[in-house]
A and B are shown apart, each in its own frame.
Chain A
Amino acid sequence: MADTVASPLVEMCDISIAFGGVKAVDRASLDLFPGEVVGLLGHNGAGKSTLIKILSGAYKPDDGEIRVNGQTASIRNPADAKKYGIETIYQTLALADNVDAAANVFLGRELLTRWGTLDDGAMEMQTRKVMARLNPHFHRFKMPVRALSGGQRQSVAIARAIHFDARILIMDEPTAALGPAETKQVADLVRQLKTEGIGIFLISHDIHDVFDLADRVFVMKNGRVVGSVRVANVTKDEVLGMIILGKCPPSATPGPGAVR
């Protein structure tokens, strides 16, 4: 396989973080190759979102190392993560409801005129372009995003992640709030981004979401990685066994959380 030859896009090595004595993530390691979709599965509270928020800069790990393209990366805040081309679509979408789509897409990275003021025209123009690709029927550019439907809000959050040449895309429960048609749209987008060589982390507590799209899955339980496995080499039931019992099938690479 090509991706075993290429060097990983991201490696998270032995990451630990505790909140008030509770180990939310315990010595977790995972990796992601260019053009690969990696699913991160586990129950609610298994530590998936916390682990991924460390990669996106929202939390600082107590221990462990993150490498991007083989180099040690220092990610102390969300802005650092973005500098490494790591973009995140949060489960909550993390949109400022009171401002419009363009303001959200460019939040923290506003385009400025040569006088240093906000260039709203240019931002709206670029937002129109990226939204045309994601959601061609979208035209409520002057509305605060509060007034948009769930799918439209999702599009805005995705637009914000892909507009800035992401190399690593994190999608936390991307289809949780969507209908069937919009879910299919997101799946198509994931496939398209994959062909562009972007590495994608897909986080979900529902394996059906992930199974069709992912090349590999990592399973987490109680803050630890149970193991990782190529989707092609395993059945859904075996993955469910990993999620529920923490038991690795023979085809999987066991992690520190695996039951022996």
Chain B
Amino acid sequence: MNDLLAKLEIDIRLVGMVAALGLVWIGFDYFTGGLFLTPRNLWNLSVQTASIATMSCGMVLVIVTRSIDLSVGSILGFAGMIVGVVQARFLPVDLGWGYDNHWIWLVAVLAGLGIGGLIGTIQGFIIAYLGVSSFIVTLGGLLVWRGAAWWVTQGQTVAPIDARFQMLGGGIKGSVGAPVSWAIGIVTTLLVIGLMLLARRRRIAYGFSIRPAWSEAAIYGVVAITILGVTWIFNAYYIPVSVARRIVEASGQVWPEGGVQIAHGYAIPVLIAIVAGILVSFLAIRTRFGRYLFAIGGNPEAAELSGIRTRRTQMLVFTLMGVLCGLAACISTARLQSATNATGTFDELYVIAATVIGGTSLAGGVGTIHGAMLGAVLMGSLQSGMLLLDMPTPLQNIVVGCVLVLAVWVDGVFRRRVG
């Protein structure tokens, strides 16, 4: 059995995670009387997960290099305040751009990414060049940036959030609609299968072993069904009739007798998280930088002796982590439609939990982006499901904590058995 799976080069861990997720979903659906597996709930789940999933991509790389980042929630909080102040006060009032400027959202996003990247670089510099352990530096960061978030406005909540910027957080306007969603789904499916075919042809050209054709075809089938299935679910979540009516009438058309159904489709924050995941995955698997991260995690001394500039590499990982925190800050601020100094509190725990549940080893050298993102979905599912079950918050925390420990234990047992 193991030999067969090895020959097919199927990631058994991934299959296991998907199975676990499936069980959780079916369980919640049963106990909530069918409330969980609805397009509406799954769509909400995807939007709520986007910010954690975005940060977990970076956390994989941090943990792969044997470091940890405890400050991501606080960086998110601080960057979120900056993003809020830039668009609600600095640009429209102080610089006199007014509230309806088309570029406010973009400047705010760039400010978020920039401040996140700067903070990450500072912390990375202290870790890599001054030799203070990442645990301590980011534990300090956890306090420093949360405090700094309060300082930006002396604790005041920042509003209003720019209308275009709000689209980054989802909602009706922040979704791309059915036609665009189908286009994204179909193009992505073709692209993924095309790339896999290309890789297969390269292996054939080199004379390396390849998967049997039937298993390759089966994998293409699974890819297509997954992507198009997700697209179909999101396209099955319709916006409220009253809003749909307003949109139709605003476009100058007559509201028909039976009404029309307008679908949400993919939410923009979800697309952002997916694109971030693809880019970071590419960085990890296909570039020198990524190869060095894994080498450093596997054997730091060997990496150094191979001539890799390990310190610089380690600092840049934290830069990237910071940029992703800035991106997550934009998503969270846009979704909550305000910036508060408490945004992102405890996010570091959810991000680390998602990453570790997703198969990233705290010993370093092992981890995948897609695993961490699935881990984020699993964490999000637990929270969303327990909310639907009306579980009290303390009990929710107990469950999440237990699931984290259980998942890592099962993973460890699996790793020892299968290798």
Does A195 have its Cβ within 8 Å of any Cβ on chain B? no
Cβ proximity bits A69-113 to B, threshold 8 Å, 1 near / 0 not: 000000001110010000010101111111100010001111010
- Does A112 contact B294, Cβ atoms closer than 8 Å? no
Cβ proximity bits B373-409 to A, threshold 8 Å, 1 near / 0 not: 0000000000000000000000000000000000000
Q: Which of B35-43, B146-154, B216-224, B284-292 contacts its partner?
A: B284-292
Q: A96 and B287 in contact (CB under 8 A), knowing A78-B305, A121-B203, A124-B206? A: no
Residues of A within 8 A of B304 (CB): 58, 78
- Does A96 contact B202, Cβ atoms closer than 8 Å? no
Chain B binding site: helix, strand, loop or mixed by DSSP? helix
Cβ proximity bits B95-109 to A, threshold 8 Å, 1 near / 0 not: 000000000000000
Residues of A within 8 A of B285 (CB): 118
Chain A binding site: helix, strand, loop or mixed by DSSP? loop
Interface extent on B, as a size class? Answer: 20 to 34
Contact of B365 among A78, A92, A98, A118 (CB under 8 A): A98
- Does B297 contact A110, Cβ atoms closer than 8 Å? no
In the assembled complex, the Cα of A57 lies from the Cα of B304 at a distance in Å of 10
In the assembled complex, the Cα of A77 lies from the Cα of B298 at a distance in Å of 20
- Does B302 contact A95, Cβ atoms closer than 8 Å? yes
Residues of B within 8 A of A78 (CB): 304-307
In the assembled complex, the Cα of A109 lies from the Cα of B206 at a distance in Å of 21
In the assembled complex, the Cα of A15 lies from the Cα of B306 at a distance in Å of 23
Contact of A108 among B205, B297, B307 (CB under 8 A): B307
Does B214 have its Cβ within 8 Å of any Cβ on chain A? no
Does B301 have its Cβ within 8 Å of any Cβ on chain A? yes
Contact of B306 among A92, A108, A124 (CB under 8 A): A108
Interface extent on A, as a size class? Answer: 20 to 34
Q: A88 and B305 in contact (CB under 8 A), knowing A107-B295, A118-B288? A: yes
Distance to closest chain A CB from B315 (angstroms): 17
- Does B208 contact A124, Cβ atoms closer than 8 Å? yes
- Does A121 contact B307, Cβ atoms closer than 8 Å? no
* Chain A stretch 107-164: residues in CB contact (< 8 A) with chain B: 107-110, 112, 116-118, 121, 124-125, 147
- Does B305 contact A56, Cβ atoms closer than 8 Å? yes
Q: A118 and B291 in contact (CB under 8 A), knowing A58-B305, A82-B307, A147-B419? A: yes
In the assembled complex, the Cα of A99 lies from the Cα of B286 at a distance in Å of 14
In the assembled complex, the Cα of A110 lies from the Cα of B308 at a distance in Å of 11
Distance to closest chain B CB from A157 (angstroms): 10
- Does B305 contact A112, Cβ atoms closer than 8 Å? no
Distance to closest chain A CB from B139 (angstroms): 27
* Chain B stretch 266-321: residues in CB contact (< 8 A) with chain A: 285-288, 291, 294-295, 297-299, 301-308
In the assembled complex, the Cα of A107 lies from the Cα of B290 at a distance in Å of 12
In the assembled complex, the Cα of A124 lies from the Cα of B206 at a distance in Å of 9
Residues of A within 8 A of B297 (CB): 98
Distance to closest chain B CB from A201 (angstroms): 16
Does B366 have its Cβ within 8 Å of any Cβ on chain A? yes
In the assembled complex, the Cα of A94 lies from the Cα of B303 at a distance in Å of 8
| Nearest opposing residue in chain B for A94, CB measure | B302
Distance to closest chain A CB from B182 (angstroms): 30
- Does B307 contact A79, Cβ atoms closer than 8 Å? yes
- Does B286 contact A96, Cβ atoms closer than 8 Å? no
Contact of B295 among A96, A116, A117 (CB under 8 A): A96
In the assembled complex, the Cα of A88 lies from the Cα of B305 at a distance in Å of 9
Distance to closest chain B CB from A78 (angstroms): 4
Residues of B within 8 A of A147 (CB): 419
Residues of B within 8 A of A56 (CB): 305
- Does A117 contact B365, Cβ atoms closer than 8 Å? no
Distance to closest chain A CB from B204 (angstroms): 10
- Does A99 contact B307, Cβ atoms closer than 8 Å? no
In the assembled complex, the Cα of A97 lies from the Cα of B304 at a distance in Å of 14
- Does A121 contact B294, Cβ atoms closer than 8 Å? no
In the assembled complex, the Cα of A147 lies from the Cα of B288 at a distance in Å of 23
The 8 A-B residue pairs with the shortest CB-CB distance in the complex, in nearest-first order: A79-B307, A98-B298, A96-B298, A108-B306, A98-B365, A94-B302, A96-B295, A107-B306
Binding site for B on A (CB under 8 A): 56-58, 77-79, 82, 88, 90, 92-99, 103, 107-110, 112, 116-118, 121, 124-125, 147
Could you name 23 residue pairs across A and B whose Cβ atoms are closer than 8 Å? A58-B304, A58-B305, A77-B307, A78-B304, A78-B306, A78-B307, A94-B301, A94-B302, A94-B305, A94-B306, A95-B299, A96-B295, A96-B302, A96-B303, A98-B298, A98-B299, A107-B295, A109-B306, A118-B287, A118-B288, A121-B206, A125-B206, A147-B419
